[in-house]
Amino acid sequence: MLMAHPVVLRNLLEHYESLDALAHADVVGPQIRRRLEDAAYTLCVSTGTRDIDAALQVARQQLSRSAAPAAASAPAAASASARSAAAAAGQRP
């Protein structure tokens, strides 16, 4: 199954959540409800699910998995940057 890019998935999730919050207001027009339905459908397609609850769960899981490798590689990237800076300055790290 194809997976949405984490940035795209995060944007979809935030868009859905903001529309969902609006939909719980007292006076909601049909345009907001339609946009919420469209966002729910897009999340379902993007996560390979058939209902919004499952789509939200899968999206959050995918985002947490994609954030973990980035956080784990941050120290390595920082030390690589330090080595590059030291080499450029003619110093030994």
What residues does each domain of the chain span? 6-78
Report the mean per-residue pLDDT for the chain: 81
Q: For residue range 19-56, list pLDDT tens digits in order.
A: 999 988 877 889 999 999 999 999 999 999 999 999 99
Q: How far is CA 61 from CA 25, 90, 93, in A?
A: 28, 44, 38
